[in-house]
């Protein structure tokens, strides 16, 4: 008997409703609804348009009616962002975008309240201004009255689950992106929360990834004329849903989840929290069965996405395929950026910032569109090598194959550059890693699939996986020396 479930996957620039059908062997997916996610800048604050996004969930539910019985639905989103609701469950204001400037300087401020080393030792998280901890810290400074009115803080997937079911819970994987979780205990860290002056009562009960939150509320069912349906807290954090889809058979592997962000790391049974991992600013994030992703957040295809928007603002429209063609024609290994340099995080004129970066670091300046895109792809690949080496140093292991999953694997050029830079085999796919992981977690929750290993095998059978072998290693090794200088190492 075929089983059908619905996966809603929200990224920073768009979302989709997908129907997953499991026939016992493979999962097939069909896109029911696709929509953009457009942050809205109002009076200097960048918000997520959360009600519009909820409207899009409803459209997905309506479109899924054509299938008849659907077993459940699951929602995954980007990490760290949240909405605050009052006791009646009313949203107090629109969730604010993690790229908003309100967190500027908050990391340094937090170190006056809690010792940096202790902060890392408890949470095991990479320090990034966008983390929930620093967003909430900025509220304690600037918007105390808002926090006073808040009953619960609901992270994005939890907020949507609440809108659908009325249940206020915090799913484990998304909680692990906040920098407010005790990484070893898997609970909210009282010590960190108190030190930062955040009211403790706003943090909901944590539930494991892949558990049932509840069912669609009467109000939603009536409005949309739907039958009741289970809502499963999948891995609410998209990266952790994607992790389910890594087609590795070996226990120790290195993965790269590749979308707007690049998340590169390995899977562990327990967190690594050491001086080395703190110095390298590597994060421990939690997933299904409390597995730990020991990884680094790297600015990913964001630089290409935002450059494309810039060219559009200048009246020139390019498809991603076209950008790749132009990049292929450009001279290889000409110049590099540090994709994680602070100037590349905010939206705006990325091509100009890239030129400025190259000029400042005494390199040749990329002029054409193709040169810019090539510079981004090659710099990302070099950064992957750099982070892979850091991870290896921390775990004391070496990895022969790098498993790339997610939308970024559609770029052959990026896959090739990654194999060349890292000097190892790249296994690329599935493209739809997050959606397939979301679906598999629902099937696991319903006991249609028994284990994570089985889920990984089913997914590997369900979508194409390609292999890339390194080439021109000598040129890339030489260029890596230059790259390291450019990033100041």
Q: CB of residue 374 vs ligand LRH: minimum separation in angstroms?
A: 24
Q: Give bridge partners of residue 262 from the DSSP assignment.
A: 258, 298
Report the alpha-carbon distance of residue 286 to residue 170 in Å, rounded. Answer: 13
- Nearest Cα residue to 155 out of 75, 232, 231, 211: 75
Give whichever of 129 and 238 is closer to ligand LRH, judged by the CB atom: 238
* 475 noted as active-site residue: no
Of 328, 322, 276, 345, residue with least CA distance to 128: 345
Which one, 80 or 234, has the nearer CB to ligand LRH? 80
Closer residue to ligand LRH in complex, CB, 335/404? 404
Which of 53, 70, 80, 213 is the binder for ligand LRH (CB under 6 A)? Answer: 80
Query: Which one is catalytic: 76, 81, 238, 340?
Result: 238
Separation between Cα atoms, residue 359 and residue 333, nearest integer Å: 16
Which part of the chain contacts ligand LRH (CB under 6 A), choosing from 24-32, 189-197, 255-263, 318-326? 255-263
In the bound complex, what is the minimum distance in angstroms from residue 235's beta carbon to ligand LRH?
11
Stretch that binds ligand LRH, among 16-24, 209-217, 232-240, 422-430 (CB under 6 A): 232-240
Q: How far is the CB of 10 from ligand LRH (least distance, A)?
A: 9
239 binding ligand LRH? (CB under 6 A): yes
Q: Least separation, in Å, of the C-beta of 293 and ligand LRH?
A: 9
Pick the closer one to ligand LRH by CB: 161 or 177: 177
Tell me which H or E stretch contains 154: strand 152-155
Residue from 22, 162, 188, 261 in contact with ligand LRH (CB under 6 A): 261
Q: Does 238 sit near ligand LRH (CB under 6 A)?
A: yes
Q: Does 171 bind ligand LRH (CB under 6 A)?
A: no
The mark string for 413-432 relative to ligand LRH (x by CB under 6 A, - otherwise) is --------------------
**Nearest-CA neighbor of 303 among 334, 332, 341, 330?**
341
Nearest approach, Cβ of 77 to ligand LRH (angstroms)? 7
Task: Judge contact between 356 and 363, C-beta under 8 A.
Answer: no
Selected binder of ligand LRH within 15, 60, 79, 204 (CB under 6 A): 79
Pick 129 or 215: Cβ nearer ligand LRH? 129
Q: Can you tell me which of 78, 253, 468, 476 binds ligand LRH, judged by CB under 6 A?
A: 78
Nearer of residues 206 and 326 to ligand LRH, judged by Cβ: 206
Strands 230-233 and 72-76: parallel
311 burial via Cβ count (<10 Å: 0-12, 13-18, 19+): middle
Q: How far is the CB of 285 from ligand LRH (least distance, A)?
A: 7
240 binds ligand LRH (CB under 6 A): no
Q: Residue 130 Cβ, how far from ligand LRH at the closest point, in Å?
A: 6
Binding-site residue total for ligand LRH (CB under 6 A)?
14
Q: Which of 152, 241, 245, 297 binds ligand LRH (CB under 6 A)?
A: 297
Q: What is the 3-state secondary structure (H, E, C) of 82-151?
A: EEEECCCCCECCCCECCCCHHHCCHHHHHHCCCCHHHHHHHHCCCCCCCCHHHHHHHHHHHCHHHHHHCC
Nearer to ligand LRH, 160 or 468 (CB): 160
The span from the CA of 296 to the CA of 482, in Å, is 22
Nearer to ligand LRH (CB atom), residue 242 or residue 426: 242
> What is the torsion angle, in degrees rounded to the nearest 10, for the CA atoms of residue 23, residue 24, residue 27 and residue 30?
20
Instruction: Select from 371, 380, 337, 339 the least CA-distant residue to 357.
Output: 337
Residue closest to ligand LRH when measured from CB atoms: 79
387 three-class SS = helix
User: Binder to ligand LRH among 22, 48, 82, 98 (CB under 6 A)?
Assistant: 98
Minimal CA–CA distance to 224: which of 358, 18, 56? 56
β-pairing verdict for 211-215 and 230-233: antiparallel
Q: Which residues of 48-77 are buried (b: 16+ CB within 10 A; e: fewer)?
A: bbbeebeebbbebbeebeeeeebbbbbbbb
Helix (H) or strand (E) holding 467: strand 466-468
Torsion of CA 444, 446, 449, 451, to 10 degrees: 40
Binding mask 193-212 for ligand LRH (x = CB under 6 A): --------------------
Give the nearest distance from C-beta 454 to ligand LRH in angstroms.
25
- Judged by beta carbon, residue 241 or residue 277, the one nearer ligand LRH is 241
Beta carbons of 64 and 32 less than 8 angstroms apart = yes
- Subset of residues 329 to 348 that bind ligand LRH, contact rule: CB under 6 A: none
Minimum distance, C-beta of residue 280 to ligand LRH, in the bound complex (Å): 17
Which whole-number Å values give the CA distances from 314 to 36, 251, 309, 310, 311, in the listed order?
21, 48, 9, 6, 5
Helix 320-329 and helix 369-395, axial crossing angle in degrees, nearest 10: 90
Contacting residue, 72, 152, 177, 463, with ligand LRH by CB under 6 A: 177
Site residues for ligand LRH per CB under 6 A: 78-80, 98, 130, 177, 237-239, 259-261, 263, 297
Q: Which residues are the active-site residues? A: 238
């Amino acid at each position: 008997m075929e089983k059908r479930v619905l996966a809603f996957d929200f990224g920073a620039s768009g979302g989709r409703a997908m129907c997953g059908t499991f026939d016992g062997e493979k999962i097939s997916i069909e896109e029911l609804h696709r929509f953009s996610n457009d942050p809205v800048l109002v009076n200097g604050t960048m918000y997520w348009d959360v009600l519009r996004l909820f409207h899009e969930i409803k459209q997905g539910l309506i479109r899924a009616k054509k299938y008849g019985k659907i077993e459940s639905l699951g929602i995954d989103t980007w990490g760290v962002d949240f909405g605050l609701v009052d006791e009646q469950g009313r949203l107090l204001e629109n969730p604010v975008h993690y790229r908003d400037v309100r967190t500027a300087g908050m990391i340094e401020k937090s170190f006056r309240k809690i010792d940096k080393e202790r902060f890392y030792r408890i949470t095991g998280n990479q320090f990034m201004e966008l983390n929930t901890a620093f967003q909430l810290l900025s509220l304690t400074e600037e918007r105390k009255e808002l926090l006073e009115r808040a009953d619960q803080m609901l992270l994005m997937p939890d907020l949507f689950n609440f809108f659908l079911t009325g249940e206020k819970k915090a799913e484990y994987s998304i909680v692990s992106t906040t920098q407010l979780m005790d990484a070893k205990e898997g609970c909210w860290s009282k010590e960190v929360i108190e030190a930062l002056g955040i009211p403790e009562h706003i943090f909901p009960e944590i539930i494991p990834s892949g558990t049932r939150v509840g069912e669609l509320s009467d109000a939603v069912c009536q409005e949309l004329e739907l039958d009741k349906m289970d809502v499963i807290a999948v891995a609410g954090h998209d990266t952790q849903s994607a992790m389910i889809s890594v087609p590795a058979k070996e226990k120790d592997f290195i993965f790269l989840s590749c979308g707007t962000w690049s998340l590169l790391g390995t899977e562990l049974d327990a967190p690594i929290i050491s001086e080395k991992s703190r110095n390298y600013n590597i994060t421990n994030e939690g997933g299904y069965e409390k597995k730990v992703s020991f990884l680094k957040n790297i600015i990913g295809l964001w630089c290409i996405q935002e450059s494309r928007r810039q060219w559009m603002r200048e009246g020139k429209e390019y498809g991603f395929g076209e950008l790749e063609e132009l990049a292929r024609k450009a001279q290889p290994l000409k110049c590099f950026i540090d994709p994680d340099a602070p100037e590349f995080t905010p939206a705006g004129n990325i091509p100009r910032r890239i030129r400025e970066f190259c000029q400042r670091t005494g390199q040749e300046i990329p002029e054409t569109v193709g040169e810019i895109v090539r510079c981004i792809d090659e710099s990302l690949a070099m950064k992957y090598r750099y982070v892979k080496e850091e991870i290896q140093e921390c775990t004391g292991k070496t990895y022969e194959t790098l498993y790339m999953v997610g939308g970024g694997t559609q770029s052959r050029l990026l896959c090739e550059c990654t194999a060349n830079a890292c000097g190892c085999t790249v296994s690329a796919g599935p493209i739809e890693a997050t959606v397939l992981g979301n679906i598999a977690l629902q099937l696991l929750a319903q006991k249609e699939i028994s284990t994570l290993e089985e889920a990984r095998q089913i997914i590997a059978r369900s979508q194409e996986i390609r292999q890339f072998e390194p080439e021109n290693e000598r040129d890339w090794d030489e260029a890596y020396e230059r790259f390291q200088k450019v990033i100041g190492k």
